[in-house]
Amino acid sequence: MLSKTMVDALNEQIKVEFESSNIYLQMAAWAAWKGYEGAEAFLRAHSEEERMHMMKLFGYVGETGSLAVISAMEQPKSEFDSLASMFKQILEHERFVTGRINKLVELAYEEKDYSTLNFLQWYVAEQHEEETLFSSLLDKIELIGHDGRGLYLIDRELGKQAAAHAAGGE
């Protein structure tokens, strides 16, 4: 049985993951609108992944006999200056999410809630993976992605990553 504080905190994280999914879906729409097909595929796949993060939390809250609650979500931003600035915002957002996960871990420690602590380990690893992925992508974009040809190469690279992901890779 989870404490009320823990259920509220997990429900808050459901919102954060859902919002992440919406943010990346909206970014996918922007990428498509700008003609970045690779980025669109990549962002769509990432949006799905965030939905999976949300569903995992949703499942855990329910399994522990508590009520998962979906709350109102913020409307994602729909305009971006460039692909580089969009990816910068993604990295910032992932850092924000990592901070939220860390807060949940702290709460689980404080409450000696070892089941939730164990459950959260997956998110700790996942955030590490995502921050690494997005910071390396941002490095690449900043290195080669500022002119037409560079952006074309970046978009192709993002498309390849999305295809590899769809084929079952990470």
Kindly list the residues in this chain that would bind Fe ion in the complex (CB under 5 A): 17, 50, 53, 130
User: In whole angstroms, how close is the CB of 157 to Fe ion at the nearest point?
Assistant: 19
User: In whole angstroms, how close is the CB of 126 to Fe ion at the nearest point?
Assistant: 6
Give the nearer residue to Fe ion in terms of CB position, either 6 or 57: 57
User: In whole angstroms, how close is the CB of 166 to Fe ion at the nearest point?
Assistant: 17
Give the nearer residue to Fe ion in terms of CB position, either 93 or 151: 93
Count H helices, E strands: the chain? 5, 0
Residue whose C-alpha is closest to residue 18's, from 71, 93, 92, 95:
71
Give the nearer residue to Fe ion in terms of CB position, either 17 or 113: 17
Give the nearer residue to Fe ion in terms of CB position, either 15 or 157: 15
Residue whose C-alpha is closest to residue 107's, from 6, 1, 4:
6
Residue whose C-alpha is closest to residue 46's, from 94, 104, 80, 85:
94
Tokens at 165, concatenated: 């992901």
User: In whole angstroms, how close is the CB of 61 to Fe ion at the nearest point?
Assistant: 16
Give CA–CA dist 142/149, Å, rounded.
13
